[in-house]
Amino acid sequence: MSKIGRKPIDVSGVTVEINGNDISFKGKKIAGTHSLPALLKAEIVDGNLVITAVRKTAETNRIWGLNRALLANKIIGAQTGFDKQIRIVGLGFKAIAQGPKLQFSLGFSHKIDFDLPADVTVEIDKTGQLLTCRSSNKESLGLVCSKIRALRPPEPYKGTGIQYVNEVIRRKAGKAKSA
């Protein structure tokens, strides 16, 4: 039995309709549907959405927790949305918003233009070194943040680069001075 799959999903603030294996949801941010495999079924019990297995097999256990997590992320995205913060560390390193694009100055000989998808918004503070990315789609938000971080990953000697705010960078000692 799946430990994650049997947890109920709180659907307060979101309207949920179940039509067979298709679950439609509508919240403040977005509306959408999620299709469950034939091995799973959904029902609303005490204001919570519960996903159960039609019959318990090894195949059911593999997909039960996955589909519950995907559906929970979609419902949370419809209610409140997700956000991640990214910090740019380095002298002269910054980001500038230009409509649906971001322009990064990261110490290279050129500036880097980065196209944002339609469902992700980015707020940049006045220093240009703290980015707050928001989206109602958790997968799209994580993908955009990882692509931004990959433009200049943090390096372990000086600690410069692009990193998540809650990320811990292990620092290395530089060359030892010989006497």
Query: Are residues 49 and 111 both part of a single domain?
Result: no
Give the model confidence (pLDDT) of 39-55 as tens digits.
999 999 988 999 999 98
Query: Residue 1: which pLDDT band, with cuts at 50, 70 and 90?
Result: low
pLDDT at residue 179, rounded to an integer: 63
**What is the domain range of residue 70?**
9-79
Question: DSSP states of the chain as a string?
Answer: --TTTTS-EE-TTSEEEEETTEEEEE-SS-EEEEEPPTTEEEEEETTEEEEEESS--HHHHHHHHHHHHHHHHHHHHHHT-EEEEEEEESTT-EEEEETTEEEEE-SSSS-EEEEPPTTEEEEE-TTS-EEEEEES-HHHHHHHHHHHHHTSPPPTTT--EEEETT--PPP---PPPP-
Instruction: Please identify, among 23, 48, 79, the residue that sits at the C-terminal boundary of a domain.
Output: 79
Give the model confidence (pLDDT) of 79-90 as tens digits.
999 999 999 999
Q: Structure pTM?
A: 0.86
